């Protein structure tokens, strides 16, 4: 039986996981930056998932270097994970007892039975979808248990930095010339896909997505920026992040917690 986990408890485990992965030399070249940019919201996700009223496994969609998954294992969860790429060897996932699969969530069916998971997490993935999310969310709904929780975090289109970019004549998305004019797509099962952001989100967008796909919205929140572990020149960002976060609408990230109805 998994007990409810506080964000503070989750952060402690995430830090321990990072230190363990560093000591065993199983990190990727950008794992430090990836972890520093994600551990605070991951702690919120872990806390939210621990409140699921049903028991079972958790699915991580977009597992990358497995830091989030390994932390969940430490907390007593059973984990499955998927990603479109395989940055770590299959032996790593087997050694960590993570049921890992390589697939494209937009194109492939999930290789799990109906009503399998107590919780599903998709972090910073939805904004990259090339096509409508209806098909993949039908699969997510299928494999989530009735009463289970879906947690999604995405960039917030209303973040303060986006206003600053617009004032300077910039677009809020990726560089237009590099990523929208010149970038060549990756083809999968005969269809083109891009790595760029295709959409950035408002709270209203997330509510519409959940409603359309049959989920009940539990919470939509604006996530504060991480202000720990910044070193050197990046420490200058700390007071600016603190000022921006006073206004929730200006924060960098949105998080949706939704439930599959019983």
pLDDT at 237: 64
Name which of 244, 261, 216 is nearest 160 in CA terms. 244
Assess contact for 45 and 124: CB atoms under 8 A: no
Assess contact for 60 and 46: CB atoms under 8 A: no
| 2 within some domain | no
Give the count of domains, the chain: 1
| 94 within some domain | yes
pLDDT at 1: 61
CA distances from 191 to 69, 82, 139, 185, 194 (A): 30, 20, 19, 9, 10
Assess contact for 133 and 127: CB atoms under 8 A: no
pLDDT at 224: 83
| 60 within some domain | yes
Global pTM value:
0.94
| Mean pLDDT per 10-residue interval, the chain, length 262 residues | 87 97 95 91 96 96 97 96 92 95 97 98 97 98 98 95 92 92 95 94 98 98 74 64 84 96 97
| 103 within some domain | yes
* Strand 253-259 versus strand 216-223 pairing type: antiparallel
| 117 within some domain | yes
pLDDT at 234: 59
- Residue 203 Ramachandran class (φ > 0 left, ψ -120 to 50 alpha, else beta): alpha
pLDDT at 180: 93
| 189 within some domain | yes
Segments forming the whole domain that contains residue 117: 7-259
| 254 within some domain | yes
| 1 within some domain | no
Three-state secondary structure readout of 50-67? CCCCCCCEEEEECCCCCH
CATH number of the domain to which 229 belongs: 3.40.50.150
């Amino acid at each position: 039986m998994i007990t409810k986990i506080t964000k503070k408890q989750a952060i402690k485990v995430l830090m321990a996981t990072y230190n363990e992965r560093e000591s065993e030399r199983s990190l990727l070249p950008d794992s430090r930056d990836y972890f520093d940019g994600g551990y605070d919201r991951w702690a919120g996700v872990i806390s939210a998932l621990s409140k699921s009223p049903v028991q079972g496994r958790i699915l991580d969609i977009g597992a990358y270097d497995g830091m989030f998954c390994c932390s969940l294992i430490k907390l007593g969860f059973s984990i499955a994970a998927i990603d479109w790429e395989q940055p770590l060897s299959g032996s790593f996932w087997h050694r960590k007892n993570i049921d890992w699969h390589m697939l494209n969530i937009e194109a492939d069916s999930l290789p799990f039975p109906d009503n399998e998971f107590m919780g599903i997490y998709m972090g910073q993935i939805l904004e990259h979808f090339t096509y409508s999310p209806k098909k993949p969310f039908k699969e997510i709904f299928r494999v989530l248990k009735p009463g289970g929780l879906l947690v999604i975090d995405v960039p917030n289109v209303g973040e303060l930095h986006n206003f600053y970019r617009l004032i300077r004549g910039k677009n809020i998305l990726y560089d237009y010339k590099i990523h929208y004019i010149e970038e060549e797509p990756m083809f999968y099962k005969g269809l083109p896909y891009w790595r760029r952001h295709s959409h950035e989100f408002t709270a209203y967008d997330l509510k519409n997505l959940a409603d359309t796909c049959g989920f009940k919205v539990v919470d939509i929140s604006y996530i504060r920026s991480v202000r720990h572990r910044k070193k050197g020149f990046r420490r200058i960002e700390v007071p600016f992040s603190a000022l921006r976060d006073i206004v929730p609408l200006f924060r960098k990230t949105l998080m949706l917690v939704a439930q599959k109805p019983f």
